Amino acid sequence: MNGLINRAIECFVRDSYGDALWQEVTEALGIDETAFEPLMPCDPEVTARLVAALSARFGREAADLLEDLGTYLVTQPRSEVIRRLLRFGGVDFAEFLESLEDIPDRARLAMSDFDLPAINLHMEGAGLYRVEIGRTARAGLWFGPVLLGVLRAMADDYGALVLLDYRGCDASREIIEVHLLDEAHASGRDFDLATAGTAR
Amino acid sequence: MSAHGGGQAGALAAMLDRFCPMHLVIGPTGKILHAGPTLARIIAPEAIMGARFLEVFEITRPRGVQDAGGLRALDGVRLRLRMRAHPRYALKGQLCAVPPDDSGAGPGPMVVNLAFGISLVDAVRDFGLTGADFAVTDLATEMLYLLEAKTVAMEESRRLNHRLEGARQAAQEQALTDTLTGLRNRRAFETVLARAVQGQTAFALLLLDLDFFKRVNDTHGHAAGDLVLGVAARRMLSAVRVQDIVARVGGDEFALLLPGMETATAVNTVARRLIAGLEEPISDGVRHYRISASIGATLSRDHPGAPPEAIMDAADRALYAAKAAGRGCHRLHRPEDDTPTAAGCPPQGGVCAQGAAMRSR
């Protein structure tokens, strides 16, 4: 699974900061290009070093970078498929939130070695949700900030108005608070269940 | 969409609409009384309400259903159907004949529940169906998700295979190619020779050593030597046919396999042409370099059943003899006395006269 994660980071950095900078960072780390082969296994330690190096190079917190990565994955036309697969989760943002718990299973259906941490959703009150993401060292990065970016972008996608707050983590989980203020704040983006690409 | 009755009947009809959005209620005479909301989106309700079910749908399995009585007899049977207006979408369905009510006034209505089977993807796209068009328990959305996810994964896998295949070919090419001249290397030549020995086609094997190459290398340096080797390789290639194999098997040693060449005359012609080509001066724009070549050859027909090494050995002995005869000579191995014949040393005065410094092989 880390080949895919590394590849996602590569696309994000190349598109956001340019090829030259990407080369500079990876060459300094001496990372082999097979580490960015989406279907190939890769040591999570490589991902951890990569995130640390990028964080140092940009002078930004790793969590900030990872949140941008999450937003990037949903909003970039070239990773449109991720947005689409997430949109299968529900017809509106509330239903999408409820489908978050299925994401690890769905990811495994798509790629059997895709091993995302467990996600739990708790209703705290009207429109108030707490998303708990299991903490794992298996991936070489924390998924909480990435999911935060994904949620931000998906709320836009559904046209929902939300307040998102990364509440940090304890020993076993990361916590994101979601306040769904208005389900139909804006018109959102279209989603057709079938695309020209899948239906032949 | 329909005129649901009130009370419990109305509640049941609303439930059917929710749980089975692609159902139809058919009256006792076979006419459509009601269409579930998704079906009504696909087929305009006004066009089918009151129409005979069998006029709107064709039952493809089981065949031969003609009328309302025939329909009623399908109670519980697994059905395959098509919409006559949209025949490309295969539907599956099941019919349930509702018992008559207590008033005993003839047969009751029938309910048919339909689903897109494997044609789901086409139907969703063509009719613009959304998640809301399917029952909550319906796995249609999951199926579409899975299909899309697997398509992406397959596509990525295809790309990976493509990249790996490219890398494999490049690695193989590299493993079999002499990087300086672009010719095959010794390993590649051994494979080619072994295959030729196995095959049915006769061939000639030539071993060629460049003469005076060491002198060029020692006097003018490796850059000049490399240039000479590159030019020599190109000249050898242009002196033979496309199907002939030229390989660099050592520093200034080359091997050629000429398929289909089975006479001494033909081999001699090629050998002369090779040597003549190599004796043309080679220029780097400043200096001219002159080399020549010695060639030992053998014909596969002279070695029936022999292993590749034995054939190489015969060509090597011929090369030895050619070198003994002086530079720029070629010799063909002769099996009858296992002594090379004097096949074509250039007339005296040529490079041959300079004598041959034998190199141990």
CB contact A137 to B (< 8 Å) = no
The enclosing domain of B265 has a CATH number of 3.30.70.270
Same domain, B106 and B68: yes
Chain segment B230-265, per-residue pLDDT in tens: 999 999 999 999 999 999 999 999 999 999 999 999
Closest-approach residue (CA) in chain B for A198: B148
Same domain, B171 and B121: no
pLDDT for B344 beyond 70: no
Chain segment B264-306, per-residue pLDDT in tens: 999 999 999 999 999 999 998 889 999 999 999 999 999 999 9
Same domain, B226 and B348: yes
CB contact A85 to B (< 8 Å) = yes
* B238-to-A73, B251, B262 alpha-carbon distances in Å: 55, 20, 20
Torsion of CA A71, A73, A78, A83, to 10 degrees: -90
- What secondary structure letter does DSSP report for B51? S
pLDDT at A196: 57
Answer whether residue B361 is part of any domain: no
Same domain, B199 and B345: yes
In angstroms, the separation between the Cα of residue A50 and the nearest Cα of chain B is: 22
CB pairs < 8 Å spanning A and B: 69
Chain segment B104-151, per-residue pLDDT in tens: 678 889 999 999 988 898 998 899 888 889 998 998 888 888 888 888
Cβ neighbours of residue B249 closer than 8 Å, sequence gap 6 or more: B185, B186, B189, B207, B255
Closest-approach residue (CA) in chain A for B151: A198
| Cβ atoms A53, A82 nearer than 8 A | no
- Positive or negative CA dihedral for A190, A195, A197, A198? positive
CB contact A171 to B (< 8 Å) = no
> Of the ranges A18-22, B169-173, B186-190, which one carries the lowest mean pLDDT score?
B169-173
User: Could you state, in order of their start, the residue ranges of all structural domains in chain A?
Assistant: 2-60, 91-182
Range B345-350, long-range pairs (CB < 8 A, 24+ positions): B350/B326
pLDDT for A199 beyond 60: no
Same domain, B69 and B210: no
Q: How many domains does chain B have?
A: 3
In angstroms, the separation between the Cα of residue A36 and the nearest Cα of chain B is: 11
Give A91-182's CATH code, choosing from 1.10.10.350, 3.90.1520.10, 3.20.20.70, 3.40.50.9100.
Answer: 3.90.1520.10
pLDDT confidence tier of residue B190, bands split at 50, 70 and 90: very high
B340/B134 Cα distance (integer angstroms): 88
Same domain, B119 and B72: yes
CB contact B156 to A (< 8 Å) = yes
The answer to whether A110 contacts B156, with C-beta atoms less than 8 Å apart, is: no
pLDDT at B5: 52
Neighbours of A197 (CB within 10 A): 13
The answer to whether A88 contacts B144, with C-beta atoms less than 8 Å apart, is: yes
pLDDT for B347 beyond 60: no
pLDDT for B358 beyond 70: no
pLDDT at A72: 95
CB contact B121 to A (< 8 Å) = yes
In angstroms, the separation between the Cα of residue B143 and the nearest Cα of chain A is: 10
More confident site: A44 or B296: B296
The answer to whether B152 contacts A81, with C-beta atoms less than 8 Å apart, is: yes
> Which residues in chain B have Cβ-Cβ distances shorter than 8 Å to A191?
130
| Cβ atoms B247, B191 nearer than 8 A | no
Same domain, B235 and B347: yes
Among candidates A132, A141, A178, which has minimal Cα distance to A158? A178
pLDDT at A32: 85
A104/A131 Cα distance (integer angstroms): 14
Sheet with B23-26, side-by-side order of all strands: B32-35, B23-26, B110-116, B91-97, B78-83, B57-61
pLDDT at B308: 95
Question: Helices A103-110 and A80-87: crossing angle, nearest 10°?
Answer: 130
In angstroms, the separation between the Cα of residue B124 and the nearest Cα of chain A is: 6
Q: Which amino acid is at B282?
A: I
Closest-approach residue (CA) in chain B for A110: B149
Chain segment A74-126, per-residue pLDDT in tens: 999 888 888 988 988 888 899 999 999 999 998 888 888 888 899 999 999 99
In angstroms, the separation between the Cα of residue A194 and the nearest Cα of chain B is: 5
Closest-approach residue (CA) in chain A for B119: A199
CB contact A105 to B (< 8 Å) = no
pLDDT at B338: 64
Answer whether residue B181 is part of any domain: no
| Cβ atoms B97, B72 nearer than 8 A | yes
Sheet with A119-125, side-by-side order of all strands: A119-125, A128-134, A173-182, A161-169
The domain of B36 spans 7-138
Answer whether residue B81 is part of any domain: yes
CB contact B44 to A (< 8 Å) = no
Answer whether residue B234 is part of any domain: yes
CB contact B342 to A (< 8 Å) = no
Answer whether residue B1 is part of any domain: no
> Which residues in chain A have Cβ-Cβ distances shorter than 8 Å to B122?
194, 199
The enclosing domain of B26 has a CATH number of 3.30.450.260
pLDDT at A139: 72
Same domain, B212 and B159: no
Chain segment A45-80, per-residue pLDDT in tens: 999 999 999 999 999 999 999 999 999 999 998 888
Nearest-CB residue to A88 (from B128, B141, B150): B141
| Cβ atoms B343, B330 nearer than 8 A | yes
The answer to whether A197 contacts B132, with C-beta atoms less than 8 Å apart, is: no
pLDDT at B182: 92
**Interface with B, mutate which of A85, A193, A200 (most B CBs under 10 A):** A193
- Residues listed for chain B: 361
Answer whether residue B309 is part of any domain: yes
pLDDT at B104: 66
> Which residues in chain B have Cβ-Cβ distances shorter than 8 Å to A197?
148, 151
Cis peptide before B109 (omega within 30 of 0): no
Answer whether residue B70 is part of any domain: yes
B304/B318 Cα distance (integer angstroms): 18
Average pLDDT, chain B: 88
pLDDT for B350 beyond 80: no
Q: Which of residues 5-24 of B touch A (CB under 8 A)?
A: none
Same domain, B235 and B314: yes
The answer to whether A85 contacts B153, with C-beta atoms less than 8 Å apart, is: no
